[in-house]
Structure 1
Amino acid sequence: MMIDAAVVTGASSGIGRAVAVALGPHAKQLVLIGRDPARLADAAAATHNGAATVLTTDLADPDAVPVLGHHLADLLGGVDVLVHSAGDYASGEVPDTDAATFDHLYAVNVRAPYELTRELLPHLRARHGDVIFMNSTQGLAAYPGVSQYAATKHALTAVADSLRGEVNAAGVRVTTLHLGRTATPMQERIHAAAHRPYRAADLVQPQDVADVVLSVLALPRRTQVNSVTIWPTHP
């Protein structure tokens, strides 16, 4: 499998970093997007030949996303794979969580991937590309105490499902990965806030998710995986 150009958001750590490293040997051009330049540089160094391009962007800034989309189009000339791994998390019951928290989660978890996909869609259509959304099992069923986060993940599921119906005829595939607890820095913070022991080895590993991404991309173009749910064996 060879990919001309791939873009991964949230690539500085966790799932995004693992996906970027896994794509490295298969991508002629690979762009890693995140907020932390040092961690992005470290992720780029870990990719095949260390040849990835890094772009530091805060996806919570709505004005930054269209600029990023235009820059990517100019930089790459086309996009074959767009992986949305960036995201943020917050918990709290409805009476205790203000609308500003909800707005921030919406900006990062829904608006940014929506807008970046929209900006790059002409290039994905031209290349018969793939769009992969990293989602959560909270995007399938919401638990108490995470209504704001789960609402954004449900919304992201809706974006992906609607987009799929719009672009499949143009040869663009759209896949959502609904992830259960995965061993990432974010998950470690979630465990700490809940005063639960964090046993990374018992969770889904970022590399497991990256392996699924490669499997989805390697399928013949006649075949599409709409969604995958990945749980730890011992949740």
Structure 2
Amino acid sequence: MPTALITGASRGVGAAIARELSPTYDLLLGGRPSPQLDALATSIDGATTFPVELTDHDEVAAETETISELDVLVHSAGIGGISTVEETDAQVWRAMFEVNVIAVAELTRQLLPALRAAGGHVVIINSGSGLRAKAGWSAYSASKFAVRAFAEALREEEPLLRVTSIFPGRIDTDMQRDLVAMEGGDYDASKFLRPETVARAVRNAIETPADGDPQDVVLRPRPH
């Protein structure tokens, strides 16, 4: 079977994508070492863990050396946060860009030979904040605008690869619960996209016939 590497696979959207792709892909499940990551790998036939700290670029280089062909790379790992421009210091900006942009760019760079060998597909889970910035979301939105630019440049530079950016609205995840708490609101999961819905969109993009190029996919929760 073809091989897919999914970052942020231990929970949330990443875990949902892993389950969605598991019938047709051998999976490399990326994430920090954890019981959750191990349990997911155990539950899926043909899955192994890729327990790499994505911000440790030497570790990323060492672990990717053994991957000679890669059909799909899904970037699902990321961090978020809410604060005003006045409250957001340089440390927050650095952390946001290190995880949401630089880690994506460096992992992709290290895996380009393997992706080229397979004529592969890079999928980046972006955000609605990568299309429109709102008050309180400056650092997060800027990082998502930046990774959107990275995806567009990669698509131009690597015409034999397919590059898809997924722009979901807010998703029912643990991170979303934290964000709603920061906003001071009550959490209502029905207002948000299900992780499985985003995972299905990823699978649909990957399964688009070879003559099509699914570049940008925008998902929004439907109003009740």
CA deviations on 1:27-77 (whole Å, 9 max, x unpaired) are: 1x2100111421101222332x2x31112222233443323332xxx1x43
Residue 17 (structure 2) aligns with: 19
SS in 2 for 1:96: coil
| Mapped partners of 1:226, 1:157: distance in 2 | 11
CA deviations on 1:173-193 (whole Å, 9 max, x unpaired) are: 000001111011111111112
Q: Taking structure 1 as the reference length, what is the TM-score of the superposition?
A: 0.91
Counterparts of 1:53-202 in structure 2, within 5 Å, are 53-70=48-65, 74=66, 76-168=67-159, 170=160, 172-202=161-191
| Mapped partners of 1:63, 1:101: distance in 2 | 23
Q: Give the count of matched residue pairs.
A: 224
| Mapped partners of 1:232, 1:154: distance in 2 | 21
- More helix by percentage: 1
| Mapped partners of 1:154, 1:230: distance in 2 | 17
SS in 1 for 2:140: helix
SS in 2 for 1:10: coil
SS in 1 for 2:6: strand
Q: Partner amino acid for 2:94?
A: D
Shift of 1:24: 0.8
Shift of 1:202: 2.6
SS in 2 for 1:94: coil
Residue 34 (structure 2) aligns with: 37
Contact persistence 2:82–2:182 (CA under 8 A): no
| Mapped partners of 2:149, 2:115: distance in 1 | 20
Contact persistence 2:169–2:193 (CA under 8 A): yes
Note the aligned Cα RMSD (angstroms): 1.4
Q: Give percent identity, aligned residues only.
A: 38
Contact persistence 1:62–1:107 (CA under 8 A): no
| Mapped partners of 1:201, 1:6: distance in 2 | 30
Residue 228 (structure 1) aligns with: 217
| Mapped partners of 1:68, 1:180: distance in 2 | 32
Structure 1: unaligned runs, 5 residues or longer? none
Q: Partner amino acid for 2:212?
A: T
Shift of 1:213: 1.1
Q: Taking structure 2 as the reference length, what is the TM-score of the superposition?
A: 0.95
